[in-house]
Amino acid sequence: MSDKNEPVENEQITENENDLIKIRKEKLQKIADLGFEIYPSSYEQKEAISEIAELYSGYSEEKLKEENIKIKTAGRIIGRRIMGKTTFIDIIDGLAKIQIYFQKNKLDEKHTELLGLLDIGDFIGVSGELFKTRTGELTIVVDSFKFLSKALRPLPEKFHGLQDVEARYRQRYLDLIMNQKSREVFEIRSKTIEWLRRLLNARKFLEVETPMMQPIAGGAAARPFITHHNTLDMDLYLRIAPELYLKRLEVGCMERVYEINRNFRNEGISTKHNPEFTMLEFYQAYIDYKEMMRQTEAMLVEVVEKVHGTTEISYQGKQVNFKAPWPRITFYDSIMQYTGAKKEELQSRESIIAIAKKNEVEFDPKWSDIKILNELFEKKVEPNLFNPTFIIDYPLEISPLSKKKPEDPNLVERFELFIAGMEIANGFSELNDPVDQRHRFEMQIKEREMGDDEAHQMDEDYVTAMEYGMPPIAGEGIGIDRLVMLFTDRDSIREVILFPQLRKN
RNA sequence: GGGCCCGUAGCUCAGCUGGUAGAGCAGUGCCCUUUUAAGGCAUUGGUCGAAGGUUCGAAUCCUUCCGGGCUCACCA
């Protein structure tokens, strides 16, 4: 913190320390006084605890005795049972736990003292033979051990673990030590992303990285974060989507590209929204949104199978069946289906308002017809879409970057994928007509002038790129955090993000 | 941002129709060579989120602020 080494500061730290920390510091000093290195730099060739468990837990007591299996491993102490001349210690390496058995008559005087100076939370390296205790637990009986690092602060309680939600998010490291479930969430998160990458790579997609700091924040309807570059003396926006850059790459004949990274949206925080969130966006030339849906379906089914081992998962007490094919329902049909409205009732403003009232969906009279329809969709349709469902053919007005349907220019070739009532993906046949694109941006600018600060800005540079010629493309964004929520049965996005955004404390 | 709920020992929690703070775990000391939420005996530890107010007296009642959870609004 300070490079001045002011004694005042040291005193303050000491004053703030409670006895538990003081005692642990004294123990560390005693360990040093005994001649042990207190922060040694390595403990090499150690075996993973999870691998030891995997390899040998099936062995019988007799077999272990015969084979004299020597083990060297290391980890953090999370439990200790002292019984006079013997001590049992549990250590973990993040994936698994193993029991270590110390016998005083096998240790020299210095190591006996060292054993007494260990605390829960400390790191040790041990070597010894494997055996099974009376109760059948795989255990290492120590013939030597090494002190590796000290925990000056005590870990949370062993039985209840760390329950305080705020502490679990702010001090995620403690959550990961104490709560195996939490650790598993991030294993599944990693696996999910790994499999998405593998499947895309197998389909000859190229992984790319496009700017996270952009002069115009485009590609989605959202308020951006603003930042400033000092040397260039210019304001930049943290990206709300990589979309317009990835499509510039399509102009550059990169036919299949994808990017997995963070987007930033300066909006409300909730159990389903973190200001920074992870999206997979991918674009493929020469296909349309229908083919994109087929590929999405195939890919997600495979990811679920790889990550979960089955296509049926349980989410918040309900079953979600990923088995293909997934239903495709048009935006308007879905509203009719769940509100009981007839087709002609969705045509005029009066009847749309009547439908909203009949379905007890609140709206602002200033809203456009489309916005009221969208509200009907979100309130009456979305919560019912539990098994994976594609909603297709959205109104033009809310889709400024997608291609019109040839047979109905008021609709676009767009789909959104809903699972467990959550929007998981959004994709469309990409608009590649630069004249139409400029016109759409102009429509958005009008929206912006009417007070919608989430409406899209004009991006001349993007239109210019398109004027050089853009092939037919379909593109899609998949919300990784929400997908992981599904796979881990979590109802809050904060449970699947290691360090979710919180107020400063 | 609105509504409801929460903040007490390192951790998990009691105590809250006002009388000045408790338990379990962790810690410390002693006993214990197959325990596993080990056990037994003893024991340390608290600006009761912060600041005001009411009161003879506030962890408890009131106000404001800080932090969190759920929810509504906005969004993915």
Six token digits for residue A156: 């949370």
Q: Is the pLDDT of residue A2 over 60?
A: no
- The region, left, alpha or beta by phi > 0 then psi within -120 to 50, assigned to residue A316 is left
* Averaged pLDDT for residues A15-31: 86
Evaluate whether A38 touches A31 at the Cβ level (below 8 Å): yes
Evaluate whether A189 touches A241 at the Cβ level (below 8 Å): no
* Averaged pLDDT for residues A238-265: 97
Asked if A136 CB < 7 A from strand B, the reply is: yes
CA angle A41, A43, A47 (to 5 degrees): 150
- Chain A 414-473, CB < 7 Å to strand B: 423, 426, 454
- Chain A 152-191, CB < 7 Å to strand B: 153-154, 156-167, 169
Q: How far apart are CA A392 and CA A329, in angstroms?
A: 6
**Predicted complex ipTM exceeds 0.90:** yes
- Write the CB contacts of A326 (distance below 8 Å, at least 6 apart in sequence): A297, A387, A388, A389, A390, A417
- Distance of A19 CA from B43 C1′ (whole Å): 14
Q: Is the pLDDT of residue A37 over 80?
A: yes
* Averaged pLDDT for residues A216-227: 92
- Distance of A92 CA from B10 C1′ (whole Å): 21
- Per-residue pLDDT reduced to its tens digit, A386-407: 999 999 999 998 899 999 999 9
Asked if A103 CB < 7 A from strand B, the reply is: yes
- Distance of A443 CA from B54 C1′ (whole Å): 61
pLDDT of the residue at A371:
86
Q: Is the pLDDT of residue A477 over 80?
A: yes
pLDDT of the residue at A368:
84
Three-state SS string across A142-199, please? EEEEEEEECCCCCCCCCCCCCCCHHHHHHCHHHHHHHCHHHHHHHHHHHHHHHHHHHH
Which residue has its C-alpha nearest to nucleotide B38's C1'? A81
Q: Which helix (H) or strand (E) holds A350?
A: helix A349-358
Q: How far apart are CA A393 and CA A416, in angstroms?
A: 9
- Chain A 241-270, CB < 7 Å to strand B: 265, 267-268, 270
- Where is pLDDT greater, at A336 or A5? A336
pLDDT of the residue at A17:
61
Q: How far apart are CA A384 and CA A418, in angstroms?
A: 9
Q: Is the pLDDT of residue A341 over 60?
A: yes
pLDDT of the residue at A16:
46
In this structure, how many other beta carbons lie within 10 angstroms of the beta carbon of residue A362? 8
Asked if A139 CB < 7 A from strand B, the reply is: yes
| Helix-, strand-, coil-residue percentages of chain A, each rounded to 5 | 40, 25, 35
Residue A14 pLDDT level (bands cut at 50, 70, 90): very low
* Averaged pLDDT for residues A161-184: 95
Residues of chain A with pLDDT > 70, as a percent, come to 97
Local structure of A99: helix, strand or coil: strand
Six token digits for residue A351: 């009847």
pLDDT of the residue at A363:
82
Q: Is the pLDDT of residue A3 over 60?
A: no
Tokens 């030597």 label which residue? A144
What is the pTM assigned to this prediction? 0.93
- Distance of A396 CA from B41 C1′ (whole Å): 79
| Nucleotide at minimal C1' distance from the A491 CA | B70
* Averaged pLDDT for residues A111-139: 97
* Averaged pLDDT for residues A114-132: 97
Average pLDDT, chain A: 92
Q: Is the pLDDT of residue A9 over 50?
A: no
- Give residue A244's Cα distance to chain centre: 23
Most confident listed range (A190-204, A348-362, A436-450): A190-204
